[in-house]
């Protein structure tokens, strides 16, 4: 189970994401209103998507932390993957809108105003976003949260976007008005790529994709124990921060039931050393030693 401190950390990070998005919306709206830059508008629209996605994320995290019950025996961890899928849809919608607006500005470039103020806003936005990313990275490392990881990918794209908008405004200040529209288009395609990445990861989690890195760890654990004779029918999947691991463990058919149970418990303990929040289920299979081959 997750420690209470981990739960608080997840909720704090989710709330920080929402607060950051609201702050960035405020300053970017002022910058766009004063400058009329489509690049700044692109960044503003993305921040609007951020706050919607972060709110969905926060609700999903709260729901995923609800313990397993009679109707949800495996817990509520998949709520995080659903949140990631929702984020992908929102990001895609914002990208399509950005591409539409940016194409118009590229075909008909227009002079901008208050570019210095707008550039200052982009620098401020970048600093604030990097601070949030630092917190999100720590949270993902500590909890393995899928929803926070998806959110951090989104905000990581925001940093690149803010830098791109700053460079576009710098180009416009030197008379290169077409750079504004071109930057918006490039950002639009970048956001589409980010949406695909987040969406694909969420779909794979919902489809219970196998975890090859876990399989390798378990193979090493079993091979290191001289009393085990191999394993088969290993199944792994992830739901939120919980890894579900099921396997058949081969052992000498002459072992007593007590000894076989102690052996499987020892293997389970070693697995939990690597994955403390895992749900491990081991079935003992008796094998004739003379015919056994390690798998």
**Letter string b/e over residues 179-205, b meaning 16 or more CB atoms within 10 A of that residue's CB:** bbbbbbbbbbebbbebbebbbebbeeb
Give the model's pLDDT for residue 292.
Answer: 46
Give the model's pLDDT for residue 188.
Answer: 78
Task: Report the chain's mean pLDDT, rounded to a whole number.
Answer: 79
Single pTM value for the model: 0.54
- Sequence-separated (6 or more) residues with CB below 8 Å from residue 53: 86, 87, 90, 91, 151, 154
Give the helix/strand (H/E) hosting 247: strand 242-252
Give the model's pLDDT for residue 1.
Answer: 43
For the beta carbon of residue 288, count every other beta carbon within 10 angstroms. 10
How many whole angstroms separate alpha carbon 274 and alpha carbon 211? 14
Encoding tokens for residue 271? 């697995």
Q: Please name the residue that has the structure tokens 């509520």.
A: 76
Q: Please name the residue that has the structure tokens 């289920």.
A: 281
- Sequence-separated (6 or more) residues with CB below 8 Å from residue 243: 211, 214, 236, 237, 275, 277, 278, 279
pLDDT 10s digits, 99-157: 877 787 677 776 677 788 888 998 999 999 999 999 999 988 887 776 677 778 778 77
Half-sphere exposure for 48 (CA within 13 Å, toward CB): 14
Give the model's pLDDT for residue 4.
Answer: 44
pLDDT 10s digits, 272-291: 888 877 888 888 888 887 64
**What are the chain's domains?**
4-206 (1.20.1510.10), 212-291 (3.30.70.1350)
Q: In the chain, which stretches have pLDDT less than 50?
A: 1-4, 291-295
Give the helix/strand (H/E) hosting 279: strand 279-287
Give the model's pLDDT for residue 203.
Answer: 78
């Amino acid at each position: 189970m997750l420690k209470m401190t981990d739960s608080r950390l997840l909720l704090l990070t989710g709330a920080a994401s929402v607060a950051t998005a609201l702050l960035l919306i405020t300053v970017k709206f002022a910058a766009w209103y004063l400058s009329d830059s489509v690049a700044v508008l692109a960044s503003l629209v993305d921040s609007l998507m951020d706050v919607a996605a972060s709110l969905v994320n926060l609700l999903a995290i709260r729901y995923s932390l609800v313990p397993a019950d009679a109707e949800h025996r495996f817990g509520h961890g998949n709520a995080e993957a659903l949140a990631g899928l929702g984020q992908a849809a929102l990001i895609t919608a914002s990208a399509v809108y950005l591409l539409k607006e940016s194409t118009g500005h590229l075909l008909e470039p227009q002079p901008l105003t208050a570019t210095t103020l707008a550039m200052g806003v982009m620098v401020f936005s970048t600093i604030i976003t990097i601070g949030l990313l630092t917190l999100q990275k720590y949270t993902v490392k500590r909890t393995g949260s899928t929803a926070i990881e998806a959110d951090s990918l989104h905000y990581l794209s925001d940093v690149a976007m803010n830098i791109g908008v700053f460079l576009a405004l710098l180009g416009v200040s030197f008379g290169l008005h077409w750079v504004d529209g071109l930057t918006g288009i490039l950002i639009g395609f970048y956001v589409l790529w980010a949406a695909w990445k987040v969406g694909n990861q969420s779909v794979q989690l919902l489809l219970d994709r196998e975890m090859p890195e876990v399989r390798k760890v378990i193979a090493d654990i079993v091979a290191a124990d001289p009393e085990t004779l191999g394993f088969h029918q290993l199944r792994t999947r992830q739901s939120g921060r919980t890894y579900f691991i099921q396997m058949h463990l081969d052992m000498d058919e002459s072992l007593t039931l007590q000894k076989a149970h102690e052996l499987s418990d020892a293997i389970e303990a070693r697995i939990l050393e690597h994955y403390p929040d895992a749900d491990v289920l081991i079935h003992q299979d008796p094998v004739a030693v003379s015919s056994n081959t390690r798998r």
